[in-house]
Every structure is written in structure tokens, then in C-alpha cells.
Amino acid sequence: MKLFLNDKRVDINKEEKEYGYTPFCIACYKGHTEIVKLLLNDERIDINKVDQHSRTPFFEACKNGYIEIVKLLLNDKRVDINKANLYGETPFYISCQKGHIEIVKLLSNDERTHINKVDNDGATPFYSAVSSQKIEIMKLLLNDNRVEINKPLNDETTPFWIACEKGYIEIVKLLLNDERVDINKARNDGKTPFWIACSQRHIGIVKYLLENGREIDISKPNDNGKTALDIAKETGNEEQKISESEEAYQNRKKAYSNIVELLESFGSNLN
């Protein structure tokens, strides 16, 4: 390498054909710290040159968790630490999604980092941590008042909504304990987090939402006028589907029956 670097005829930023990686990008992607140090000392190196998916060398180091390389690049003011890939994902975003907590800490403490920058779907780094179940990252971000914990996707899906839809009960509990979290915000089809938890048969989440003490609108309908109780009754009474085994059919009926019983009991207690 040193021999090639000393030969001025060598194009040291030449990309390979398949993905458009430069030698510097490959070094960051593979975690070759000493090579990264060597190349950083050559002023000819294009340290922000992107590959075919608009991923910078810094992005690759963050994605793969190479903290020593991340530190090196953060100390070089030429590095664009917020450059997003083709899908709008920034280095901070991908670090949150992958669960690289030490890198997330580093980037959070760097005033240049755009900690709420969204991807093409409108997802924030916090949303990506929730959807990928990175609880320790979530806790870290919840303690940072700059983080927009209710910012939704383009279709108005919030981090809390996706946790209820996916059945991530520990995340739901964590978010419910933060009074800043909007637990009733509906998606653009009118479905609330409570509605979707009922629809997806997440009875543990349904119970927790009803019992946690925060105000839940259990009768809010979706845009088709169907409440959570309506959808639980209707879906629970549907005929067995061709692709549905007998066991799955019985489990579905039982789960929705339990949710209907729970909602009707809760409603009667309110009255």
C-alpha cells in the first residue's frame, strides 16, 4: 500500500465496479483501523466519496460498529457525519438501528449530529431503535430532551404505535412510563395504538393499556367507523380460512373472544 501511495500514477480513489467502493470505503467497511489511519494522512483521499447506495465510509464504520474508526473520522473535520444513504438513513440512524450503543453515545455528544433526521419514510433514529427493539438505545435517547419521541412516519405511524402493532410489550411499558409519549395518536387510517393492539391480538398489551392509569380512548373508530371492539368481534367470528389450520383457527377465535370479554368488562366498569 505504501508503495502504491508513493506512486503518483495510482488513482487511490478508484471505485470497484460492483458496489462503487473506494479503497478507503473498504478499509472502513472491513474495520482496518491502521489502513484508515494511513489513508487519512494522504490529502488526496476522498473521505466522503459514496458507493452506489450513497453510503459514505463513515456510514459503513458506524453500521458495522467499528468504534475506533468512528472516533478517527469524528476527529477529522472533513468528514460529513450526517450524510444519508440512498434510503435517507444517516450514520446516527443506522447506529441506533443496529444497537451500537457506544457509537450512539459518541454521536449524541457531537453537536454536529442531526439526531432527529428522518429517512425516506419519515422514520427518526428513535423510531428505528423502537422498531428494531434496541431497548438500551431507546433508554439513552429517552433521556435526551432533544429527541422527538412522538415524531411519526409519513403515514403518521408513531414509535408507540409500531410497538403496539408488533407486540413489543416491554417497549410499550417503557414508553407508557414517559408522560411525553402520545399514546392515543392515530395513524392516517384512524387506527390508534390501542386499536391496532386489539386487532393484532396482543392481549398482554391491551391489558396493560387498560390498567396503566393513563387515559385511553378505547371507543375511537378507524376511518371505516370500526372500533377495536367491533374488529375483535368481527375477526373472531370469521369463518376458518383455507390456509388456516384448525389449531390456528381455534387460537384466533379464543384470542379475539378474550379481547372482546376484556373490552366489554372494562366498558361496563366505566359505566
Characterise 156 by phi-psi region: left (phi > 0), alpha (psi -120 to 50), beta (else). left
Cell numbers standing for residue 248: 390456528
Mean pLDDT computed over every residue of the chain: 92
User: What confidence tens digit (pLDDT) does each residue in 202-252 have?
Assistant: 999 999 999 998 999 899 999 999 999 999 999 988 898 999 899 998 998
Mean predicted confidence (pLDDT) in 46-63: 95
How does residue 42 score in pLDDT terms, banded at 50, 70 and 90? confident
Rg (C-alpha) for the chain, rounded Å, is 24
Q: Please give the C-alpha separations between residue 204 and each of 151, 197, 210, in angstroms, as whole numbers.
A: 25, 9, 10
Distance CA 135, CA 169 (A): 11
How does residue 270 score in pLDDT terms, banded at 50, 70 and 90? very low
Residues with Cβ within 8 Å of 251's Cβ and at least 6 positions away in sequence, in order, are: none
User: What confidence tens digit (pLDDT) does each residue in 244-256 have?
Assistant: 899 998 998 999 9
Residue among 128, 146, 132 at smallest CA distance from 88: 128
Distance CA 91, CA 108 (A): 11
pLDDT of residue 271: 40
Q: Please give the C-alpha separations between residue 156 and each of 128, 180, 208, 212, in angstroms, as whole numbers.
A: 15, 17, 23, 24
User: What confidence tens digit (pLDDT) does each residue in 90-136 have?
Assistant: 999 999 999 999 999 999 999 999 999 999 999 999 999 999 999 99
Mean predicted confidence (pLDDT) in 192-196: 97
Coil, strand or helix: which one is 192? coil
pTM, to two decimals: 0.92
Residue given cell 441506533 in the structure block: 96
Please check whether residue 223 is in contact with residue 190, taking contact to mean a CB–CB distance below 8 angstroms.
yes
pLDDT of residue 266: 83
pLDDT of residue 8: 72
pLDDT at 263 over 80: yes
Q: Please tell me what DSSP assigns to residue 15.
A: P
Which H or E run contains 106?
helix 101-108
